[in-house]
Structure 1
């Protein structure tokens, strides 16, 4: 349910992960809406946009399961009790995202928050999703980061995502707000030292992208769990505007796809060189 692509040659201490580009929905996924609705939640093609990473010496981890089936960028207990058929005795901690229907198991579908599930999720299925998807993904990412940090002393990490061009009712920024080309996040300075964040911003802006920092996204569970600059792990989240590479209604790649991938490959090369020079 996960894929790891390692560099063929010498690795650089810069790890990539794409947690939301998966397209597999196992048999216990019981949706009340058609794929054209729930697939809007996928970070479509993000793993492809950054697929040059391993050729540049950068390991790339990607989830193959759909994010709404099991969202590894949420805490394992980030779930409203009503999502399950039996939550008795469970210490769940639903966040604001879970209350919007975007917890570790989604209960709503974009853009308007329509109900996603045909019935509550069985408690056993929730536990199975964690053991099959959530824990293996975080273990794989921790392993890649640990290996790189042991080899180099410090590791840098780009957590790769995409965003809708315009905020909708399931977002925390005002519905209708237009987004820039790229949003970079470091949980307000807690998941990375400032040098890495600002190097990423400078590299992207030099390639003609408009960039915002920590607005409207600040980073979620992956950065919270793995980013630890005091211990030598610097994690930054990258959100790419889908209008740069796809039609958000038909899910088809746009004529700009290859151009955007080429520019993002140049971004990865610039960050590889920045990391290697430190």
Structure 2
């Protein structure tokens, strides 16, 4: 196992994928960047802590410490956009969410370097994720893959205004059965948090690629506005985890995932 790749194996019919919480940038990539703090600014901060209850539920957890700036394991490896016609970041991003350049002039990765990163960082993550899905499918007739994300509440370049706190993505209904979606929506509706299903974020490549309800793999993406559990950073300052605020959100997420586990076992 790669030292930057973490797999906790559980026996429940739930896999939690955490692809964007990493802040490690390998030295051979970091030397070409404009600034380290800028390069990790768009991380999904504190997501492992936010789902700290998941091991007790029996969940399997797959996460990477590698920053999405090095390679985004939630993007189509072919390089095709997941949101045609909308601004988004690519497989090996060259700009931040705000459109600031990540690389010094002439240092952005070319095709050979992108291919190397796919082999070194993208492939091991997905080998692990697919392996855990296959393992649990031998135990359970159906499982849930839950892709866990967060983002700043205001990113003018990506969406207008303030993002709802809870953003459920199902690839417009294709990645999960209607019963699973209804359970998630019930908990969002009763949470007191603003929420939407298949709004700006319909699910990334992980949700779209692995979500095969007819084959017993139901995939949901949850994109959380970071104000729901932390103080969002001003400029490039480090963010601040807010325990009391996070506790209220964690209670909602734990209840949701508990009911989803029960549903998979029905």
Q: Same fold (TM over 0.5)?
A: yes
Measure, in 2, the Cα distance between the counterparts of 1:183 and 1:262: 17
Runs of 4+ in structure 1 over 6 Å off: none
Asked if the contact 1:155/1:232 (under 8 Å) is kept, the reply is: yes
Give the match for residue 47 of structure 2. Answer: 46
Question: TM-score, length-normalised on structure 1?
Answer: 0.84
- How much does 1:236 deviate? 0.4
Call closer, same or farther: CA 1:46–1:200 in 2, change over 3 Å. Answer: same
Q: What secondary structure is seen at the aligned counterpart in 1 of 2:138?
A: helix
Question: Does residue 68 in structure 1 map to residue 69 in structure 2?
Answer: yes
Asked if the contact 1:97/1:103 (under 8 Å) is kept, the reply is: no
Asked if the contact 1:41/1:109 (under 8 Å) is kept, the reply is: yes
Measure, in 2, the Cα distance between the counterparts of 1:68 and 1:100: 16
The answer for unaligned runs of 5 or more in structure 2 is none
**Number of aligned residue pairs:** 255
Call closer, same or farther: CA 1:132–1:99 in 2, change over 3 Å. Answer: farther
Query: Of residues 5, 9, 13 in structure 2, which corresponds to 1:6?
Result: 9
Q: What secondary structure is seen at the aligned counterpart in 1 of 2:148?
A: strand
Query: Of residues 247, 257, 266 in structure 2, which corresponds to 1:271?
Result: 257
Deviates more, 1:267-276 or 1:66-75: 267-276
Q: What secondary structure is seen at the aligned counterpart in 1 of 2:173?
A: coil
- How much does 1:260 deviate? 1.6
- How much does 1:207 deviate? 3.2
Q: What secondary structure is seen at the aligned counterpart in 2 of 1:159?
A: strand
Which digits, 9 at most, give the CA deviation of each residue in 1:91-112, with x for residues without a partner?
xx4565798461110011232x
Question: TM-score, length-normalised on structure 2?
Answer: 0.87
Q: What secondary structure is seen at the aligned counterpart in 1 of 2:249?
A: helix
Question: Does residue 15 in structure 1 map to residue 15 in structure 2?
Answer: yes
Which digits, 9 at most, give the CA deviation of each residue in 1:234-278, with x for residues without a partner?
0000011111223232233243x3432453255224422442252
Give the match for residue 219 of structure 2. Answer: 235
Asked if the contact 1:14/1:272 (under 8 Å) is kept, the reply is: no
Question: Does residue 152 in structure 1 map to residue 137 in structure 2?
Answer: no
Measure, in 1, the Cα distance between the counterparts of 2:168 and 2:240: 23
Residues 1-278 of structure 1: matches in 2 within 5 Å?
A: 1-7=4-10, 11-29=11-29, 30-78=31-79, 93=80, 100=87, 102-111=89-98, 113-118=99-104, 119-169=107-157, 171=158, 173-174=159-160, 177-244=161-228, 245-249=230-234, 250-255=237-242, 257-261=243-247, 263-277=249-263, 278=266
CA RMSD for the aligned pairs? 2.2
Q: What secondary structure is seen at the aligned counterpart in 2 of 1:114?
A: coil
